[in-house]
Amino acid sequence: MNRAIRALSLALASVLAMWSPSAWAQDTVKIGVIEPLSGPVAASGNYVRMGAEIARDWVNAKGGVLGRKVELLIEDNKSDPKEAATAAEKLIVRDKVPVIMGAWGSSMTLAAMPKLEEYGVPMVVETSSAATITKRGNPWIFRISPPSEMEALGLEKYLKDLGIKQADFLAVNTDWGRGAVAAFGDTLKKSGASVGAVEFMDQAATDMNAQITKVKGGSADTLFLTTSVEQITLVLKQAQEQRLTRKVITTGGSSSPSQLIKQAGAAAEGTYHILFFLPWFPEAMPDGKLAKAFVDEWAKRGHPFEGLTEGFRGHDGVLTAVEGIRVAGKADPKAVQAALWRVNVMGLNGPIKFEKDGPAGKESGQSKPSIFIVQVKDGKIALPAFAAKK
Amino acid sequence: MDQLLQHLLNGLLLGATYSLLGIGLTLVFGLMNVVNFAHGEFYTLGAYAAFAALALASVNFFLAIVLAIAAGAVAGAICERCLLRPMRGQSIDTVMLVMIAVWIAMQNAELLGWGGVAKSVPTPFPTQPLVLGPVSVAPLRLFVFVVSGALILGAHLLLARTKLGRAMRATFQDRETAALMGVSIERIHTITFAFGAGLAAAAGALLGPVFLLYPSMGDLASLKAFSVVILGGLGNFAGAALGGLVLGVAEELGAGYVSSGYRDAVGFLMIVAVLLLRPSGLFARAERVG
């Protein structure tokens, strides 16, 4: 009797297993995605997710990869580094994903990185800018976003046209913010400009008046802003309240100027933004046709236009991960890691191809993205005259 | 010197918002002995209610604030009636756990309802600052400052001078005697909690337009509110009002003259110092016994 029950329950369990989602997912290739879907930088994380979903649907419409459909397993890191590490572990151990894309913020990516090394799963880094990410000797990291140093070099050719003599910095108090201050500060000093006040703000801070008052006390002509679009909105509004007159340049590509125009209004006028995708001028992108198709698809899905400067990252990240799996020929972490070195694909930002970065023998992959600069002019986005020329 | 004046003005404006956050919490904490972890969520609720009234129903800005306060008070009353009343007589820790649950539930409901993307509330105030000699201030900030002051004063008068206020204080000092004097104990509990929640919602409706709205905005608000209450002393109205101003100015000067990276640390160092040296609060009079 006892044995009969056991046999019966075993049969039942196997039937159940066949019906359960995990058995279903056997037919798909899983890609893990870690993004901040809630918390202070949730807007950006959600835009990246939307872009990732477009890439998934496009890949699946063309027959998927390895003859199977691509499935995204999306985890929320709650804008919190601890949660990013937990999410990475969950995706690797529970869902057994062969590759992950994430985790937006540098602090979140850095927190997830030891897990990649521990279990040996590659991650395509789509947004994070801190230099340390590819310098730590983690061979599972493949970054398609530019580190702050690369961004600063991209800006170098415009420094004369921008007329910067002295610049202040206001940055979020994270690995990204601190890294950007160091990188842009070095570039400025090299070109003969000086660095004035360097101020930081907590990621969740809403009142930046103290920092603005301090910056106002100095004599710089430019203010470099490195933080999320939410905080940039607040800084611009509060700077206007205090009559701070500075050339403002935002770094990191997450400033979404369209959202700033909408939420900060006149306070956004005249500001410059370093970006990696220009949805206003898709034809000016390296692959104009792809960019146009993405912008149209985004609009068709009813996603807000201001999210495009962030959403493209999700597309390029998933595209890279899928290409890695295709080149590898199997959905296995180790094989995908080796294959990512051979990926050469055209993304929305431009060509994606990894070069070695970091300590010898344990290099991370770093692609060399295109970098653009735009200005808010008369409540619209414009290519500055000097950038259009070059 | 100009910079110092601007810092002080910033600090006072910021401090007034902290005071407003603190008084609702100190009222519930001091009178009802309920550690209201959901305080920040009533703040968020107020902010989103004002946003909904303005952006979706397009009512007048000032009416939207009133509606938001009403929404907060109603939510507070429901919370008290359904969750706190069955818990009456339980230890403070048990009630605290219930409030933590309310906090998590409300925050996730907000995330579900509004999404994670920040929203900004339109206001009828001009964005150009008022310039007063060496300093400048946004008209909206000034409005918030004045209304905060009025709300704090109004709440104080209600508690100190009216029959309802007397009934509230009596209930929480000695509920049996108060009941014998004809006070409806259950009603007073509900009204007090609704009052506290309404004040939090008022803070949200006023500060929402100054900052941005997002579902986790209440966390920072709760943190600041608790700081203010500790600084000012539990249940001490004037203490919370002054504590808010002190915290605002201290943070501002700390960020301005010490290091902006350690801005929040300045406030918390001050709280540690107060807890060590004057555990009943910066502005507490001699400890009352019994």
Q: Which among B11, B129, B212 is the nearest to A242, CB-wise?
A: B129
Percentage of chain B beyond pLDDT 90 is 44
Q: How far is residue A152's CA from residue B176's CA, in Å, rounded to a whole number? A: 71
Q: How many domains does the structure of chain A reveal?
A: 2
* Residue A385 falls inside a structural domain: no
Where does the pLDDT of residue A170 fall: very low under 50, low under 70, confident under 90, or very high at 90 and above? very high
Please state the φ and ψ torsions of residue A125, each to the nearest 5 degrees.
Answer: -95, 120
Token representation of residue A268 = 């956004």
Domain boundary among the residues A227, A242, A275 is at: A275
Where does the pLDDT of residue A13 fall: very low under 50, low under 70, confident under 90, or very high at 90 and above? low
Looking at residue A358, its amino acid is G
Domain boundary among the residues A242, A275, A308 is at: A275
Structural domain range at position A304: 26-146+289-366
What mean pLDDT is predicted for residues B220-232? Answer: 90
Smallest Cα–Cα separation from A102: which of A94, A117, A85? A85
Where does the pLDDT of residue A8 fall: very low under 50, low under 70, confident under 90, or very high at 90 and above? low
**Confidence at residue A26, expressed as pLDDT on a 0 to 100 scale:** 55
* Strand A28-35, strand A166-172: pairing: unpaired
Question: Looking at residue A59, which CATH number applies to its domain?
Answer: 3.40.50.2300
DSSP B55: I
CB atoms within 10 A of CB B250: 18
B137–A contact, CB cutoff 8 A: yes
Token representation of residue A104 = 């937006």
- Produce one character per residue of A242-279: b if its CB has 16 or more CB atoms within 10 Å, e if not: bebebbbbbbbbbbbbbbbbbbbbebbbebbbbbbbbb
What mean pLDDT is predicted for residues A201-214? Answer: 89
The count of C-alpha atoms lying within 13 angstroms of the C-alpha of A133, restricted to the half-sphere facing its C-beta, is 39
> Does A18 score more than 60 pLDDT?
no
Where does the pLDDT of residue B280 fall: very low under 50, low under 70, confident under 90, or very high at 90 and above? confident
pTM of the model: 0.83
Q: How far is residue B196's CA from residue A313's CA, in Å, rounded to a whole number? A: 44
Name the residue ranges covered by the structural domains of chain B: 2-277
Count how many pairs of residues, chain A against chain B, have C-beta atoms within 8 Å.
108
At A26-69, the pLDDT tens digits run 589 999 999 998 877 888 899 999 999 999 999 999 999 999 99
Contact A214, B255 (CB under 8 A): yes
The answer to whether residues A154 and A269 belong to one domain is yes
Domain boundary among the residues A248, A275, A302 is at: A275
**Helices within B28-60 (DSSP H only):** 39-51
At B109-146, the pLDDT tens digits run 998 888 777 888 888 888 788 888 888 888 999 999 99
Q: What angle do CA B49, A228, A90 make, to 5 degrees?
A: 90
Beta carbons within 8 Å of A87's beta carbon, 6+ residues apart? A34, A75, A76, A77, A102, A103, A112
Region label for A146, one of left (φ > 0), alpha (ψ between -120 and 50) or beta (otherwise) = beta
Smallest Cα–Cα separation from A201: which of B255, B214, B118, B269? B255
Q: Which among B127, B220, B255 is the nearest to A267, CB-wise?
A: B127
Q: How far is A312 from chain B (nearest CA, A)?
A: 17
Q: How far is residue A364's CA from residue B19's CA, in Å, rounded to a whole number? A: 50
Which residue's entry shows tokens 């799996």? A325
> Does A10 score more than 60 pLDDT?
no
**Confidence at residue B290, expressed as pLDDT on a 0 to 100 scale:** 42
Answer whether CATH 3.40.720 is correct for domain B2-277.
Answer: no
Tell me the residue ranges of DSSP E strands in chain B.
Answer: 130-132, 135-137
Cross-chain Cβ contact B255/A210 below 8 Å: yes
Looking at residue B271, its amino acid is I
* Strand A100-102, strand A28-35: pairing: parallel
The answer to whether residues A244 and A350 belong to one domain is no
What mean pLDDT is predicted for residues B1-10? Answer: 86
B8–A contact, CB cutoff 8 A: no
* Residue A379 falls inside a structural domain: no
The answer to whether residues A190 and A260 belong to one domain is yes
The answer to whether residues A118 and A160 belong to one domain is no
The answer to whether residues A259 and A200 belong to one domain is yes
**Confidence at residue B230, expressed as pLDDT on a 0 to 100 scale:** 87
Is the preceding omega at residue B167 within 30 degrees of 0, hence cis?
A: no
Which chain A residues touch B216 with a CB distance below 8 Å?
Answer: 38-40, 204
The answer to whether residues A115 and A174 belong to one domain is no
The answer to whether residues A206 and A306 belong to one domain is no
Q: Which among B7, B138, B215 is the nearest to A213, CB-wise?
A: B7
